[in-house]
Each structure stands twice: as C-alpha cells, then as structure tokens.
Chain A
Amino acid sequence: MSIVTVQLGQCGNQIGFEVFDALLRDSHSFQGLCSKRENEAYQTSCKERFFSEEESGVPIARAVLVDMEPKVINQTLSKAAQSGRWKYGQHACFCQKQGSGNNWAYGYSVHGPRHEESIMNLIQKEVEKCDSFSGFFIIMSMAGGTGSGLGAFVTQNLQDQYPNSLKMNQIIWPYGTGEVIVQNYNSVLTLSHLYRSSDALLVHENDAVHKICAKLMNIKQISFSDINQVLAHQLGSVFQPTYSAESSFHYRRNPLGIDWQVRPPLSGLPPLGKMSLSKDLHFNTSIANLVILRGKDVQSADVEGFKDPALYTSWLEPVHAFNVWKTQRAFSKYEKSAVLVSNSQFLVKPLDMIVKKAWNMFASKAYIHQYTKCGIEEEDFLDSFTLLEQVIASYCNL
C-alpha cells in the first residue's frame, strides 16, 4: 500500500528530501541479520510504499513538492537527481515566484484558493499512480507562511476530497527563540486548523532535535542539514516495513494503520483499579504508545515496562493503549534500534508556551494588520485560541 507525500515550503521540501533519501539508503543496506528472502520482501514493501518504478530503473519518489518560490524546490530536485539512487518525478512540483512572506493568512487565504486546482490535480495524479493507496503524509513547518498556511489549506482540501484516506501531518515545531517573529501566530492558526482536518499530527520540535545533535551526537557546528537528517532517520525507522500481527512472513500492508483514534469514555465510568510497578518516576500520561523494534533479538526483547498502568490515563487499560511492532531486518547501520511513537501529554508544555506567547502578542494587536489585510480576522484568531485551550485542557485532564 502506498503513501503519497506532500512537501510544503522550505522546511517541508528540505526534510522531504532527507526522508526519501534515508528510506532508500536503508532499503539498500542489508546487514544480514535476517534472511535474504525477508530482506527482499522488506525492500519490495518499502519501494511500493514510497517509490514508483521508472523504465530506467531509477525509483521515483511518490511525492508532490509545493512551494511559493522556486529556490528550494530547484535545490531539492537537483540534490535528488545528483544522488543517482532516486529522483523526484519530472512534473511533480508546483512552484510560484513570490513566497508567502511568513504570513499564514497569505498562504491560507491567498495562495490556497488561487492555486487549489493546480495543486490538487498534481496530488490526484500521484494518487492515481498507486495500485493501492493508503494515505497522505504531509510535511510542513508551523512557523512560516507556505508550509503552515498553505499546508493547512491543502490538508483541509484533502479531507474533503479523500475523506476515507488517512492524513498524517508531520509538523515542525519551531525553536522557542525565534526563527520567525510571528511564528506563534502562525503556529496557533496552523494547529487549530489541522485539528479539524488531519487524522494525526506527528510532531518534531527543532529544540529537541537540536539537543540530540549537540548532546547525543556531539556535532560541533549544527546545520539544518544535520537536524533534518536526524529527523529523517527517526521517521524512516517509523515508516519502514514491519511484520503484521497476523503473519510473520508478510509485512503489514497499511503503514499508517495505527489505531490513532482513541475514544475516551463518556463521563460516568469509574477509573479502573491499577497496580503500579513504579511509583517514583513521573511520566507524561499517555493514551497510546507504539514501540517499533528492529534488528537483532527483537523476539526476545522485553517490553513489559511499557505496559505499566502508571503510564496511562485512568480510563484506559494498557493492553488497549500499547502496541509493539517488530522486524528482524535491521534499520540503517544499527544492529538494534527502537522507536517510540507516543500520544501523550508531552506536548502540553510546548503547546501551552506557544499559546501563551501568541496570546500576549495578540492582546497588543501587534502584527494583526498583516493578517487582516489577507482576510484572517481577529475572530479567526479567537476561534483558534479557543480550540487550542480546549486541546490543552483535554490533555491536562488525562
């Protein structure tokens, strides 16, 4: 089953390139920790999901590149072509001449409607190329104008046009200390809109990834390239094939088929009695955790720690909230690797921070004239604030 990736804006396109590169690189790096047949099945599955085949044999990424100015897309296309291992489709991009100016309103209200048809057509073409289509992976940042505003617009359109397909948005949380001065406005507007139209928001914070580069990888002069590669590595280890529960000989067909929709009970159900294994450590309360293990000794790995009720909200039994996927085929150059995808309170603090800063700025009305002149009114801001406060409250109550 195939995923169509939509890369939006400078960030989305720069990351998108690294993701496809990481996926293909891993697909070609066989460590011999599983059988040859397994490896071949892995490679086939990976290719089917993310690439289509060309006569010349060079895999073409199943991706649509969108940006409102040409520099980054040009660079991305040529980097891919230069690698020789894969490339982007010839007609897979949509580009304009003048960017969105870090203005969410411009991306959403001006560029969106203006280029709706062209962009949706491109995406449609890519979807039609898939034998069996599973969903969308949309890569965007929150801080700028195109990724954030146009990204929100496109996601909404995808919701309308493909209501039965999964839409997962990879959003990049900006550094706490400015990349863009109006990043908090743009983030608030993006999140509130995505909440209404996306199925899952996969979040990566620049600050967190930066720390990984500095503390864990000891990189001295960290560039965006370094950051994007760490990100791509993480995403690759989530999206590469894993065994399905039914049979250990077939890779699961639906790569995004995690049960993201957790329905909380209506009020009135008593909390389940729980025995906590460890009372001292304080964890963020989760409603869903997915662990993916790859490589040596996966069958004997002990994941009992993840089933501790202390990790989960009182109205969920760990067995309903925790999932583990395994494959013996190792990822990249790592003999053993594990990745955790979590739906928990970890985002409450950063989200609260962004809402707080945006609210303080909104009270002074600073920069609002830049948004209203493109059709986003103060009311739209208020709606967004309201929705996000609700999200924060919901997560806090877990």
Chain B
Amino acid sequence: MTQSVVVQVGQCGNQIGCCFWDLALREHAAVNQKGIYDEAISSFFRNVDTRVVGDGGSISKGKICSLKARAVLIDMEEGVVNEILQGPLRDVFDMNQLITDISGSGNNWAVGHKVFGSLYQDQLLEKLRKSAEHCDCLQCFFIIHSMGGGTGSGLGTFLLKMLEDEFPEVYRFVTSIYPSCEDDVITSPYNSILAMKELNEHADCVLPIDNQSLFDIISKIDLMVNSGKLGTTVKPKSLVTSSSGALKKCHKKPFDAMNNIVANLLLNLTSSARFEGSLNMDLNEISMNLVPFPQLHYLVSSLTPLYTLADVNIPPRRLDQMFSDAFSKDHQLLQADPKHSLYLACALMVRGNVQISDLRRNIERLKPSLQFVSWNQEGWKTSLCSIPPVGHSHSLLALANNTCVKPTFMELKERFMRLYKKKAHLHHYLQVEGMEESCFTEAVSSLSALIQEYNQLDATKNVPVQDLPRLSIAVCCFHWLPY
C-alpha cells in the first residue's frame, strides 16, 4: 500500500486541508472500529508513539497510539495555521510540519513565488523530505491551493517545480480553486494565469474547482433541506457539505460547507486506493487513463449524491439517478457542461453497494447522450470500492477530461487581458526581483497554446468517426513458430 502527502498552501489551501483531515479521521473511525493501525489509515496518517521524545517514534502496526497527518502546512500569514493548531485538530499536526511567515503575500503571485520561494526554499525542501522519509512507499503529493491569491498561487506553484525535481517518481495532483467572476481580489487574473503556466508544466493532474460552483451546490442543498418536501428528512452526516460527526462542531466560517465538498472529493478520489473492492483503482491509474497527452491534464469533477434521504431502502432507480446526476452541470465542481462538450476520457469511481452490472447498465444508458473523441469512443475507466462514504450507502465521483474546461480558461484569459492592456497594477509585480514582462507574456502564451489544443479537439466534434486503414498482411503460407 502506498502513502500520500498533502501539501496545503495559503489561506484557502489550509482551510480546505483542515476540513479534509477532519473528514478523513471521521471516515477512518467509521471503518476501523477496532482501532488497529492498518494499511488504509497509513496512506494518510502516521502512527506515532508520543512518549518518544523528538519526532515521535513511528509505529507501523498494532493499536493506534496517536495519529499524525502526513501533511505540510504552508502559509505566509499566521492566522489560519494558528487557528488550526489551537483547534480540535491540533494533535494531528506537529510543529515540524509547518512553515509560516507573518507578512503575507499581498495577493501577489510574484511575492509568493519569487520572494517567499527563494526565502523558504531550503526549509520547504527539508520539511518535504522529512514527510517523504516517514513514508514506506510514497506515491503522491496532493497540493491544495487557490489560484487567485498570492501564497497559494505563487508559493504553491513554486513548490510544484521543487517537487518535480526532488521527487520525480512521485505524482503531483493539484486541487486548484479558480477565482469566480465576482472575485474580490482585483489581481486574481494575473495570479491565476501566472500560476497556470506552472500547472501546465509541472503538475501531473489538476482538478480545477471554482467557488461559484461550490456555492451553487450549497444553495441547492439548503433549498432541499429547508423545503421540507414531502416530509422527508436528510440524514445529517450524508450532506456532502457536512462535518457532522467530525471534530469541528459547527460551521463557524462561511466557507466551511464549500470546503467540505472539496475535502469529500479528495476522500472519494483516494478511496479505491485505500479500501478494498472488486475493481480497485490506484492513484497511478488516474493519470494513466485520464491523461492522453501530457499537457491535457485538467479533470473536471462531480460528486453525487449531495445528500441522502432518511429512507433506508434505495431502489435501483435512485442508483441510476446518481449516475445521471454525475453528468448534469449542476453537480460539476467547475462551471462547465461536459455533456455538451467533447470527452477525451471519463472515470467513474463508485463506492458502496454497487456491482458491475449497475455500472454497465448506466454506462450503456448514458453513453448515447455523450460525445467522445474519435480515438477514444469507449473511453471509460471504472472502479468499484466496497466501502461507502460516511452517511451514504453508495456514492459516485466522476472525473472527466473534457473540453468543457475551455470556457473557464478563455474567460480567465479575457479578464487577464483587460487588466494587462491597461498595465493595471503591473508595477506591483514588476518591482519584485526576478519578475519581468516576459513572465506575463510567456504565461499567456502557455495558456493560449492550451486553449488552442482544446479548440482543435472541439473541431473534431460531430465529424463522423472513420476507421483507419489497417496494416495489410500478406498471407501466403502460415506462420508457425518451430517447436
């Protein structure tokens, strides 16, 4: 079994990370009733003997003593990290896993990337190496950050290059929160585009998510919960936004509900690697199946169900509804409509009491309404994990490599150009050492090239699929290997 390390960078990254660790503990507590430190838990947690001075001796088997998250927490302001360390999760982290500063990056990618990058380079390397050493077999770094600010965006992407150089064999999965249109950080387009270049070049896989989509999902859930439709009640733990049963008691911050959605995404993504099932899917299979060309590694995700109603017996129709929902644009974690764009590849990761026939039936049913690229007409990757998420009997995570990400990128580019043409706020960036205008032009080029790739693929939509001529073999006598 392999391990993963979560690197949470910036305010957003750390808030989401905190929710993730909370829900991960809740999930493992629900599955692991006996309190034995097993391989599933070891994927994200170390078992530490706190009586041992210093780092805490790692215990590889037996009863759980004290769980420590395999995480590195990075922020150039202290507020968020301090709150985590004073909160109910304080025992899950230790001081050796943090890097903080006090001044913050001022929503400036250049400050995060160039200034703090070089300032903290050695420390970062040291902490990352330490976290890797604690792992028996490190498979993946999960980086969580936002694109619109300074630290998550700048320092977060600085890290990517460092991870690629230092741990070339370890996957880099990045969860990136993209700024919505009404984002209150004026320079978010600059920060995002500068960060995107790094994502293009150094990430194995990116899961773009935007706040607007998360917000819409929450509104939908609130509506459902408060409508009291037909007297049905929603199981509290089953809300994809809920932290019920977790250590944090209530939604103190407005973003908690939204962050829980992202935390659930990460849990579901890794469930088939951590828990058993009839058709396992490891993290290295995600990249293998969903990234047909190295630069096209942006995956749109959708989670269903968002909640479970209290009635226990789920008829098959409900199960099929789950599959349909995964493809509706209301359930995507990005403002995107995969159904009306072109699929390059699609993964369906199912949890719970769902069998292969359910999966096949639904693929057959939904296939006709989806468009797949000509060379991957049956581009489905599937997995079945036996353990459902807390509060549900089954769930589905759909990951789509689909041209529907294009509008998000194009829109971002437009916002960028509006600012850049006027050279608005540019001086804040250019005054940072190491920053030149070429950084901007290169970043835009990189994005334009990516958009162009998606355009070319979109152009093949609706073109009838033709089989290519095959190799012609001359068979005049049979070929048999001599014995």
Question: Do A and B interact with each other, yes or no?
Answer: yes
Q: Which residues of A are in contact with B by a Cβ distance under 8 Å? A: 10, 14, 69-72, 75, 97-103, 145, 175-182, 196, 210, 213-214, 219-225, 227, 261, 263-264, 266-267, 355-357, 359-361, 363-367, 369-370, 385-386, 389-390, 393-394, 397
Name the one of B276, B285, B376, B467 contacting A99, with C-beta atoms under 8 angstroms: B285
Q: Does B237 contact A (CB under 8 A)?
A: no
Once the chains bind, are A97 and B475 in contact (CB under 8 Å)? no
For A10, the chain B residues whose CB sits under 8 A away are: 279-280
Task: Among A179, A360, A393, point to the contact of B473 (Cβ < 8 A).
Answer: A393
| Residue contact A261 to B288, C-beta cutoff 8 Å | no
In contact, B478 and A70 (Cβ under 8 angstroms): no
CB neighbours of A261 from chain B (8 A):
483
CB–CB B357/A389 < 8 A? no
Which residues of chain B are near A181, meaning CB under 8 Å? 289-290, 345, 376, 379-381
16 contacts across the A-B interface (CB closer than 8 A): A97-B2, A99-B285, A178-B379, A180-B289, A181-B376, A220-B357, A222-B357, A223-B278, A223-B355, A356-B467, A360-B375, A363-B375, A369-B294, A389-B471, A394-B478, A397-B475
List the A side residues contacting B278 at CB < 8 Å. 14, 223-225
Interchain CA distance A264-B477 in the complex, whole Å: 10
Complex contact B382–A97 (CB within 8 A): no
Q: Give A214 to B62 CA distance when docked, in angstroms.
A: 44
How far is A59 from B139 in the complex, measured between Cα atoms in Å?
Answer: 38
Q: Is the CB of B375 within 8 A of A364?
A: yes
Complex interface: chain B residues within 8 A of A72 (CB): 276, 280
Contact A75 to B276, CB < 8 A, known contacts A267-B477, A360-B467, A360-B468: yes
B358 within 8 A of A: yes
Residue in A69, A71, A223 whose CB lies within 8 Å of B356: A223
List residues of chain A with CB within 8 A of the CB of B320: none
A361 — nearest CB in chain B belongs to which residue? B375
Complex interface: chain B residues within 8 A of A363 (CB)? 375, 468
- Bound Cα distance from A386 to B2, whole angstroms: 38
Smallest CB-CB separation from A373: which chain B residue? B294
Q: How far is the CB of A231 from chain B (nearest CB, A)?
A: 13
Shortest 4 CB-CB contacts between residues of A and residues of B: A101-B284, A178-B380, A222-B357, A366-B292
Q: Which of these, A69, A223, A355, A367, contacts B470 with CB under 8 Å?
A: A355
* Category for how many chain B residues contact A: 35 or more
Partner of A366, one of B280, B293, B472: B293
- Alpha-carbon distance A222/B355, docked complex (angstroms): 6
Q: Determine the chain B residues whose CB is within 8 A of the CB of A182 once the complex forms.
A: 288-289
Interfacial chain A residues near B90, Cβ < 8 Å: none
Within 8 A of A (CB), among B255-287: 276, 278-280, 282, 284-285, 287
**CB closest residue in chain B, given A72:** B280
Q: Which residues of A contact B34 (CB under 8 A)?
A: none
Interface SS of B by simple majority: loop
Chain B 67-104: CB-based contact to A (< 8 A → 1; otherwise 0): 00000000000000000000000000000000000000
Known A69-B282, A101-B288; 10 more pairs at CB < 8 Å: A97-B137, A99-B282, A101-B282, A177-B363, A181-B345, A181-B379, A196-B481, A263-B480, A355-B470, A360-B468
A205 shortest CB reach to chain B, Å? 14
Tell me whether B357 and A98 are in contact (CB under 8 A).
Answer: no
Min CB gap A201→B, angstroms? 14
Per-residue CB contact flags for chain B residues 374-387 toward chain A (1 = under 8 Å, else 0) read: 11111111101000
- Complex Cα distance, B475 from A370, in Å, reads 33
Question: How many Å lie between the Cα of A118 and that of B404 in the bound state?
Answer: 47
B467 neighbours in A (Cβ, 8 Å) = 356, 360
B351 CB, nearest partner CB in chain A, Å = 15
**B477 contact set on A, CB distance < 8 A:** 266-267
Task: Decide if A394 touches B375 in the complex (CB within 8 Å).
Answer: no
Give every chain A residue within 8 A of B139 (Cβ-Cβ): 98
Complex Cα–Cα for A181 and B360 (A): 15
Alpha-carbon distance between A93 and B477 when the two chains are bound, in angstroms: 44
Instruction: Tell which of B279, B357, B374 touches A221, judged by Cβ atoms closer than 8 Å.
Output: B357
| B285 near A97: Cβ-Cβ < 8 Å | no
Closest A residue to B353 by beta carbon equals: A221
Asked if residues B375 and A366 are in contact (CB atoms below 8 Å), the reply is: yes
Complex: chain A residue closest to B136, CB-CB: A97
**Smallest CB–CB gap between B57 and chain A, Å?**
21
* Interface 0/1 of B1-45, CB less than 8 Å to A: 110000000000000000000000000000000000001000000
What residues make up the interface of B, taking CB atoms closer than 8 Å to A? 1-2, 39, 136-137, 139, 276, 278-280, 282, 284-285, 287-294, 345, 355-358, 360, 363-364, 367, 374-382, 384, 467-468, 470-473, 475-481, 483
Given A99-B284, A182-B289, A393-B473, decide whether A361 and B376 contact each other with a Cβ distance below 8 A.
yes
A366 to B400, CA, bound (A): 16
Q: What residue of chain A has the Cβ atom nearest to residue B475's Cβ?
A: A393
Q: Which of A69, A70, A177, A225 contacts B360 (CB 8 A)?
A: A177
Shortest Cβ gap from A225 to chain B (Å): 7
Contacts of B478 in A (CB 8 A): 264, 394
A249 to B284, CA, bound (A): 54
A101 to B39, CA, bound (A): 19
B115 to chain A minimum Cβ distance, whole angstroms, is: 35
Chain B residue at minimum C-beta to C-beta distance from A365: B293
> How far does the alpha carbon of A357 sit from the alpha carbon of B345 in the complex, in Å?
15
Contacts of B379 in A (CB 8 A): 178, 181
Q: Which residues of A contact B374 (CB under 8 A)?
A: 360, 364
User: Which residues of the other chain, A, contact B357 by a CB distance below 8 angstroms?
Assistant: 210, 213-214, 219-223
Q: How far is the CA of A225 from the CA of B294 in the complex (A)?
A: 36
A14 to B356 CA separation, bound complex (whole angstroms) = 15
List the A side residues contacting B473 at CB < 8 Å: 386, 389-390, 393
Complex-state Cα separation, A181 to B2, whole angstroms: 23
Chain B residues closer than 8 Å to A366, beta-carbon distance: 292-293, 375-376
Complex: chain B residue closest to A369, CB-CB: B294
In the complex where A98-B2, A98-B282, A361-B375 touch, is A390 in contact with B292 (Cβ < 8 A)?
A: no
Check if B287 sits within 8 Å of A70, measured CB to CB: no
Most chain B CB within a 10 A radius of its CB, from A98, A263, A267: A98
Q: What's the minimum C-beta distance from B224 to chain A, rounded to whole angstroms?
A: 28
Most buried by B among A97, A196, A394: A97
- Find out whether the CB atom of A70 lies under 8 angstroms from the CB atom of B288: no
**Which chain A residues lie closer than 8 Å to B481 at the CB level?**
196
**A180: chain B residues within 8 A (beta carbon):** 285, 289, 381
Chain A residue contacts of B470, Cβ below 8 A: 355-356, 359, 389
Residues of B within 8 A of A355 (CB): 470
Q: Tell me how far the C-beta of B101 lies from the nearest C-beta in chain A, rounded to whole angstroms.
A: 35
A69 CA to B3 CA in the complex, in Å?
Answer: 12
Which of A176, A221, A359 is in CB contact (< 8 Å) with B355?
A221
Q: Is the CB of B471 within 8 A of A385?
A: yes
CA distance A145 to B470 in the complex (A): 26
B130 to chain A, nearest CB (A): 20
